[in-house]
Each structure stands twice: as C-alpha cells, then as structure tokens.
Amino acid sequence: MTDPNDLERIDQEIRINELREAVAEVTGEDFLSFENPDSPPEVLEQFWQHVLDFETAEQSTEFDRLVTSEIDQPPRARSWTTQRSALSCGK
C-alpha cells in the first residue's frame, strides 16, 4: 500500500517543478537560482509562487498609481523655468 504522506510529498515536488517551469516561461530566459537543500518543501513552494506572482504582476510606478487614483491632488507647482520667465517678463 502507498503511503499517503509520500503521495503528498510527490504532489508538492510536482507543483514546485511546475512553478519553476512557469517562471522560466514567463521570464523567457534561463535563470540562475539557488535553493537551500535543507529548505522545507512548503517554503520552496511559497517562494516559487511569490516569484511567479511578481513576474506576472502588472508593472507600474507609484506616480502612475497616484495619477489614476481617486485622490484629490494639489495643483501642480510652477516649475522654476516658468517662475523665472514670469519674473523676467515682469509678470
């Protein structure tokens, strides 16, 4: 009879390998990685899931998020060039 704990371990190894392959596919390149051989499989699975989540996340900047947010923003400050031009023209 097969040990159910062994089946779970095998399933987890398969999931970890699938996550590694998914990261390689998403990045489109070979990558160098190191895994501590003493790491518990649960940690490795979480790690590779986080890597995949990061690699597939929408890329944005804090500025883009601020611009598209619903937060009221203060009026833009005039640039130094605009202020200098205004001063030189007597405005």
Whether 88 maps to a domain, the answer reads no
In a domain, 60, yes or no: yes
For the entire predicted model, the pTM comes to: 0.64
Count up the domains in the chain and report the number: 1
pLDDT in tens, the chain (91 residues): 667 778 999 999 999 999 999 999 999 877 788 899 999 999 999 999 999 999 999 888 888 888 888 777 677 766 666 666 666 665 5
Q: What burial letters (b/e) apply to 11-41, b meaning 16+ CB within 10 Å?
A: eeeeebeebbebbeeeeeeeeeeeeeeeeee
| Residue 41 forms part of a structural domain | yes
Domain contains 16: yes
Residue 89 pLDDT? 63
Domain residues for the domain of 19 are 4-70
Residue 46 lies in a domain: yes
In a domain, 77, yes or no: no
Is residue 63 included in any domain, yes or no?
yes
